[in-house]
Structure formats: C-alpha cells, structure tokens
Amino acid sequence: MAAPKHRRTALERVEKFLSEIYFTDCNLRGRLFADRCPPASLSCFQTPRRIPYDEAIRQEFRPAKVGDSFGPTWETCWFKVELSIPLAWAGREVHFVWESDGEGMVWQDAQPVQGLTKEGEKTSYILTSSLKETEPHSLTLYVELACNGLFGAGKGSMIAPPDPDRRFTLSKAELVVFNRDVYELLVDLEILLDMARLLGEENQRSFQALYTANQMVNVCDVMDPSTFPAARDLAAAIFSQRNGESQHTIHAVGHCHIDSAWLWPYEETIRKCARSWVTVVRLMECNPELTFACSQAQQFEWVRSWYPGLYAQIQDFVAKGQFIPVGGTWVEMDGNLPSGESMVRQFLQGQRFFQEQFGRICSEFWLPDTFGYSAQLPQLMRGCGIRRFLTQKLSWNLVNTFPHHTFFWEGIDGSRVLTHFPPGDSYGMHGQVEEMLKTVKNNKDKGRVNHSALLFGFGDGGGGPTQKMLDRIKRMSDTDGLPRVQISTPDRLFSVLEKESSQLCTWVGELFLELHNGTYTTQAQIKKGNRECERILHDVEVLSTLAVVRGGAFKYPASQLQRLWRLLLLNQFHDVLPGSCIQLVVEDALQHYTEIRRVGTQLQEEAVQSLCRELLQPKAGSAKSTLGLNTLPWERTEVISRAGPAGTEALALVTVPSMGYAIVREPLLPAQPVSVRKQEDGSITMENGVVTVCLDMMGHLTSLRLVGSERESVPDGCYANQFALFDDVPLYWDAWDVMDYHLETRKPVTTLLKPLEITLAGGLRGSASFSLQIGKSSTLTQEIILDATCPCLRFLTQVEWKEAHKFLKVEFPVQVRSTNATYEIQFGHLQRPTHWNTSWDWARFEVWAHKWLDLSEHGFGVALLNDCKYGASAHGNVLSLSLLRAPKSPDATADITHHQFTYAVMPHLGSFQDAGVIQRAYNLNFPLHAVPASSAQSLAWSAFSVSSPAVVLETVKQAEGRPEAVVVRLYEAHGSTVDAWLQTSLPVKEVMLCDLLERPAAQGCLPLEQQGVRLSFTPFRLLSVLLVLRQ
C-alpha cells in the first residue's frame, strides 16, 4: 500500500496510537502495563516532624487505603507497604507503582532506594527486571510521603503563599507487570512523531519520519508482541541514518537544580536532595553512560550527615566520573548582593569541601538560576582555580536579548572566563526533539562554535533525569535531520569550546538581568541581617587574629567561625538573600542571623578580653578610660558613645589607629563644635566646620554646602531627603519584580506627624527629629545627625511599615551633571548611565549597589552611603535609595514589621576617590568598638596599615589549617595602577602571595623590607598575602 496522501490524518493517527487519553483500550499506550495487583497490606502513621527511618518504623501504623488523603501541609506520612508478587508473574518485569500529589521516598532494607514524584514523572520503583522463581515473592517497603509537592504548596498559583490546610491524596499503590517492549516502541514512535511535526513540511526528513511511524502502526498488532520487533526495525533504520560531518554537537548532561530553600523550608530541601540523588544513583546502575552535574557543597554536606549510605554510593559514582560535582561554591548564591569577601568564602568553603570529600576542586562555576552576575565574579573565579562559567538566566531578560551563548566574560579588573549559556535557554530539559532543534536554531554563536550544552532533568524542586529522557537521547545520538547528541560532561564540553574559542566575542562588565530588580529590596530584614553578619564575622576574624598574635593562651575559633560562615553563606542562596522565599524560610534565615550575632558577639568579646587584657582589668586607683578598637585599615577620628557616670551615655571624640586600638582618657576637643540653630520659619541649620546643612520642618534637606566652598549641593527649589511612595504591582513575580511603570505612580510623602525639632543641641553631635505618615497606615521617624569633624550627614530612620504593594524610596536631587553614576560593587565599583538613551540603558531603571553610590562631575560630587540597603538608581541628577517593598507572594507578610536603617549624604570636592567616600562608607558600616578600660596612661597600637588610600585591606584571618600563618586580602579600590606598602607590627618571618583558596603562588615569595611588604596593583586587582609568623 502506498504511503498516506494526507499528512494531518497520518500525524493524528500516530498521536492517537500513543495517546494516554484516547483509545487506550486498543492503542499501544494501553498495553504498557499488563497485570496489576494491590498491596497485601497498607498502613500508615503521620507526624508533624521530619524524622529518621529508625524512629519512623517503630511507630504505631494504622490501616490506610488508596483514595485516602493526608495533611495538612508540611506534615509527613510514613506508609508500610507489604507486597506479595503473584507466582504467575515469573519471568516478567515487576514495578511497584505509587501515585500521590506529595513527594515520596521508597525505603527498602533500611536504605532510601527511590524518589517518587508524579510531577517529576517518577511513579514507579523497579522491583525486578525479570522475576526469578528463586527471588522472594513477598517483601515490605516503607514510603515516606512529604505533604508538599515538588513546588511546595502554593494556594491557587505556584508562587502564592503556601496553603496551610492542603490535603494530599494517595491515588495509586499497586504492583504491575511492565511491558518493556511496549515502552521501547512508544519511545521510538514519540521521537519519529516529533521529527515529523517539528522538522516541517519543507523538510523531506519530516516525511520520512512520518511515513515510517505510519508504517509501524500498520505492522504493529498491539495484542501480539511478536509483531513489535519488525516495527522497531523500521524505526532503527531511520535512527541509524547518520549526519554529515558539519552537524552541531549537543553535550547532554543530567542535571537537577534544587533550590536550597524557596517555596519550601531548608529542612525539606535535605529530603529533596536525597529523593532526587537516590533516583540518579538507581539510573546510573542501569545506565553506565549517564553523567550528572551536581552543585552546592551544602547539599552534599546535608546528604553526608543525614543519608550516609546514599552518600557512600554517590562517592563511588563520583570516583567513576559519572556523578560530577560542579560550581565550587557552598550554595548557588545570589550574584549581586553578597560582599566580595562573602563571595570568596562561597568558593573557599565549597572548593575545600569538594577537595576533602572527592579529592578534587571544581573547574566550572555553575550558577544557572541567579538574578544577575557581578562584574567582579571573573576575578574571583580565576582566584579559585576556575576559568569556565555556565548559566542561562539572562535568557529571562525582559527587554534586550543577550547577544551570545558562548563568549569570554571580562570583569572590572580584566580577568576573563569562558562562559556558556545552554542555547535551549533552560537547565531542566526533557531530552525531546523540540529542545534539540531549539538548541541549534537559537544558538547566537553559529559559525564561531559548533558545540553546546543541554542540561536534562526536572529541577527547581528537585526530581532530576528520568529513564525516558535518557532513552530519547540515545535514539538521537547521530540521526540525520537532528543535531548530534552525546551524553557528555561539563569538562568535555568546555574543553571542546576552548579549542574552538579563537573566534569568540568578549562581553565586558556586569551580566545584568533585566528582571527581578525588586530582589535588591524585598525582605529588608534579611538584607540587614546579611550586612550586619558580614561585619560581625569580619570583626571577629580581625580581633581573633590579633589576639592570637599578641600571645597568651587564646585559640583562634576556627571551627566556630566555619560554622557561622556556613550559616551566612547558606542564607546567601539565590532565593533567600533576594527575599523571594516563603515565610517559613524567612523565619529560618532570621534565626540563622540571630545565631551569628549571638555567637559572633561572644567571640568578639573573648578576643578583645585576650587582646587587651592588661588594659581592661580594674586596678586600684586607676582612672576610668575608654578603649577604642578599630577593625578598619586606616586611622579614624570619630565621635563615639561611651559609658558615662551612673550608666548614662557620654559622647567622646577619639582617634584610633588603623587595625588597632587606643586608650582614650581625655577626649579630643573638635576644632569647631557642631552648632544647631532653629530659624523663625521652623527650619533648622547645622554646621560643624566641614559642612553646613539646612532642613525644613518636613525633614527635607534644602541646602547642603561644604564650608569654605560656595558650591551648593541641592538645586534651587528642590528637596533632598524626599520620601516617595510608588505603586508596586508587577506582572507576575511579586517578590522578585519591580516594573518600569512603577515610576509613573510616584507620590511624594507629604503628611507630617511631628515637625522637625532639635534633639541634640550641638557640641560633639547635633541632631533633629521628625515623623511622617507614609501611605495609609505606616509611619516613619527620622533623626538627622551631624557629628563634629564629619563630612557626612546621617539619617537614622525607623519605619513602622504596614503597606501592601507599595515601594518606598528616598530621593536626593543634586546639583551635579554627569552621564554616569558610580556604584560600589564587590572589591571595586562600576559606572552605569544616568540617561535612558537605549533599551539597554532604560532596562537598568532599578539597579543594585553595596555601601555607596556617587554622582560626580569634574571637581565636585555627592555620594549616598547606607548601612544595609542594596536597591538604588540615579536618573538625571536624582540619586535614589530603595528602602522598602511590600509584596504578597510568596510571603504574604513580607516586610510588614518595624525597620531601622541608616543612610548618609556626603558632598565632596574633587573625585569621590580623593575625597575618601569609600573609607567613609566603610566607617558607617564598621563602627568603632568602645570598651570601658582602666589604664592610667594613654597608648595606641596598630597591627596593620597600608601606605596608599587606593588600597583597602579588606580581610585579616588565620590561614585555613595553618595556625602559624595569617592571610590578609587587599584590593585596589580607586581603579588605578599603584604600588603600596603593607606595614605590620606582627612578627612576620615569611611573606608570599597566594590565591583565594590560600594556595601559595609559584614564585610568590615577597621580600620583607623596612617599610613592610611592597605590593603592586592594577585597577581593582585583588591580592591575598600569606604571612608566616615567627613562633
């Protein structure tokens, strides 16, 4: 019989032959399972806790049946399933089938053996591939069922807050005979049908696939398995027709992106890892070619602690090269908000873990799902032994299509890494024909490279690859009309790309995601906890290192610091620090910060006690004095608050040397005290000999001038420190997105509750306070503070925030003209335009910064500093700081609480570099420590200083695993080429450069001279130096 004339009927005929819905009584799909049989017995018990297997099986189980529902959300049900396989099934493949809308784990012989999730297309556990008469026909399994789905339990939509009362139904629990020959035929026909549909009518290969599939239906009698081989031979003939030599090669790698917390809490992620990875291990046992790339040292550590048997199996497959650790970081962290040092520690903790556990570090940085990538990342990767980077998130850009899939990415210091975005624009492919064709068609670097990656497996909530995905990929290994597809590894892919890289383009600067800009502001308490805990760990490390060096019995708290760092790094995961997680996760994260603050404060006190023991002990007749400690690398003269008589607080102006301390008995007197005056119109002026400030009754800044300069910072008729409220209703991703159109809804805050009043009359400190009503039901109180000798005006702000879908910002219009503003990033800064000329410019209407942003023209500028904010913008001459959002998904309570934060404004002559903006922003974030002391004489001690203001000594810590050595990390902060001397009073015997993993550099020894150690910097270069101490 000739091939069919009508393409549509032939296509639909094959579709119906495979359908799960139509004609299942007589089509091929209906023959997938033969006989079925229910469990001999099914019983369960329920618990609100996530408990270990040993504890679970000792509980009292009650009878259960298919159709029962369990809950509410986040509970756990343990099922005892007793099975008896019919004797008549000898020689057949037998599966245990389990379907439920919760996530399941099968346990057999006290070990986890298979994850079961309907959403992840895993609903059966293979008991035997061919039942032998000698095998036991009766067995007991346990199924641990989590009352949550792969994506949590959102009420009504995926990202809605979890429904606390959801019930989860057991819809299937049975033994079945699985017809493997039917399954193989189904996969053959599915691939041919997709080729017929997707290659298009202009492609003759499409018709070859269609006619072959149609002929297979003709040949196949579903009631007679002896007809199947002939049908399979027809498919094999098509699949074995090879490609030409120029065909694109796709490197398929198994993958399972597991968010360390998102729409479910951290504790559930531990089980998601086990469910997903045990499934991968099962697949590897049957498919020795399968490779699986797996990131996040924290998740390996969880499985190591909670599932040691599974972890041992994973270690075996890592040794075989199938289970491949990638990424090199503790978690897949946010790419914008963690500090430079935090990012270093992500790699340091991650790479050290992979080295200790698996004998090697990772060679690829792996961050497929993070909301943008800092321009300092290439240098950090290179410093941690990584020259390759994989992500795909920029495919989510709302405005501009990123122009490359394979390219070199160059950071602000000039470091370059080979970067690949899988052109299928996903990290969770299913191995389908459509994805292979998209990968080739979509590739933006055709003609430059002929290889690309395809990551396959269910992701975000776990799941991972399935047998069917693998079987599809095997059939497409080299089939004419489709790209070549090979199961590969990240290393194989990048090795080929490196060989082909001579034609690749280079992208310079940040990889900015044109979406999710709300994540710089959402969940302000998490942002504040992150910044505070970064400071605490910095200070503990500096003070502990100095305490060790000053002798005595003090031991560096290495293991406690590691624990605290790992908690902080965990919270930097890309759905926690950005604030895009459910309330349960926010509570966990805030608890982690509380723990870091508690233990960190204690460690800090112990270090200070040891470092300054003689100075703190009360001696008879000795006068009361104050010990000032400075953990920053420059001398500071500041107003501090110290304990006065009878528990009062007294202010004192003190000078403390760099990275050291000073005993202060007689405080300094400022050259000019702060004066505060109220004018007749209710406005208030403050002056301190450095700046002159004028404030109106609403707390607006109407004038800001440097003394001795006629230059006004605030334009005529404008108000700085102007609060503005915006409507904030994104298109879908509520906690994630703020849309460009929010700018059209600006409403200045104008409701005064308490007009500006003087609260401190001057001397060492002047201040004035006022209160505003914000929106319907929120209030803001602010104290505006000017200290003696200080060029910054500080705004200590308290907000009682109760809004819904509103965005609060504070604006500073300034009398400065520049087409670019400068923003601090990790270990440096970059410029972004203040205009919206192109779509690339206006897509950055809301950006992120760390401790400061600055708008300068030649000779003059104004900087905005902050102690815990990240969202910002500079458009025209208006600097704006994003303060609070109020999204309702996935956490309906996001940000509805009391907030306290400080920002500051600093006018300056000359460049921001020469004016010391960078140092002032550090000072705001790292206050001096004041401790009551009892020393009679004044004395000062400094551990480290740096000769150049362009170089910041960021970190002082004990070397990992080397108590006799100290690591110091410095960076060039001005964007200049400079030599600097590092001076130290520590007993150093040897100095060498090292990388960020603290491995000494080849020819890295540096001479120790009279002035210290000479270090050479190029713009934004980061240097780590290992100081070996004399014992």
Q: Are 177 and 187 contacting, i.e. CB atoms less than 8 angstroms apart? A: no
| Cα–Cα distance, 429 to 986 (Å, whole number) | 55
- The amino acid at residue 276 is S
Helix (H) or strand (E) holding 273: helix 266-286
Q: What is the full DSSP assignment across 720-764?
A: BSEEEEEE---SS-TTT---GGGGGG-EE--EEEEEEEEEEEEES
Of 694, 763, 637, 639, whose CA–CA distance to 905 is shortest? 694
Q: Are 894 and 831 contacting, i.e. CB atoms less than 8 angstroms apart? A: no
Q: Give the residue carrying structure tokens 């045990």.
A: 278
Q: What is the CA radius of gyration of the chain?
A: 32
Please tell me whether residue 507 adopts helix, strand or coil conformation. Answer: strand
| Cα–Cα distance, 649 to 919 (Å, whole number) | 27
Instruction: Return the sign of the alpha-carbon dihedral for residues 713, 716, 721, 727.
Output: negative
Q: Are 538 and 824 contacting, i.e. CB atoms less than 8 angstroms apart? A: no
- The amino acid at residue 609 is Q
HSE (CB half, 13 Å, CA atoms) of 752? Answer: 12
| Cα–Cα distance, 1027 to 631 (Å, whole number) | 18
The token duo for 421 is 């975005």
Which stretches of 843-916 are DSSP H helices?
Answer: 912-915
If you count them, how many residues does the chain have? 1031
Neighbours of 866 (CB within 10 A): 26
Beta strands in 90-246 (DSSP E): 93-100, 103-108, 111-116, 124-128, 138-146, 168-178
Q: How far is CA 302 from CA 269, 279, 962, 968, 982, in A?
A: 9, 17, 27, 31, 41
Please give the DSSP secondary-structure letter assigned to residue 87: G
| Cα–Cα distance, 139 to 224 (Å, whole number) | 32
Report strand pairing: 249-255 vs 484-487.
parallel
Active site residue 369: yes
| Cα–Cα distance, 743 to 750 (Å, whole number) | 18
Q: Are 739 and 730 contacting, i.e. CB atoms less than 8 angstroms apart? A: yes
Instruction: Return the sign of the alpha-carbon dihedral for residues 229, 234, 235, 237.
Output: positive
| Cα–Cα distance, 724 to 875 (Å, whole number) | 15
**Helix axis angle, 266-286 to 308-319, nearest 10°:** 50
Q: Are 512 and 520 contacting, i.e. CB atoms less than 8 angstroms apart? A: no
Q: How far is CA 509 from CA 46, 580, 582, 830, 918, in A?
A: 53, 26, 33, 8, 21
| Cα–Cα distance, 545 to 966 (Å, whole number) | 7
| Cα–Cα distance, 432 to 194 (Å, whole number) | 8
Q: Active site residue: 194, 259, 369, 575, which one?
A: 369
Of 993, 1017, 1016, whose CA–CA distance to 383 is shortest? 993
In degrees and rounded to multiples of 5, residue 251 shows phi and psi of -95, 105
Q: Are 482 and 192 contacting, i.e. CB atoms less than 8 angstroms apart? A: no
Which stretches of 465-582 are DSSP H helices?
Answer: 467-475, 490-499, 524-549, 558-571
Q: Which residues of 544-577 are buried (b: 16+ CB within 10 A; e: fewer)?
A: bbbbbbbeeebebbeeebeebbbbbbbbbbbbbb
Which residues are marked as active site? 369
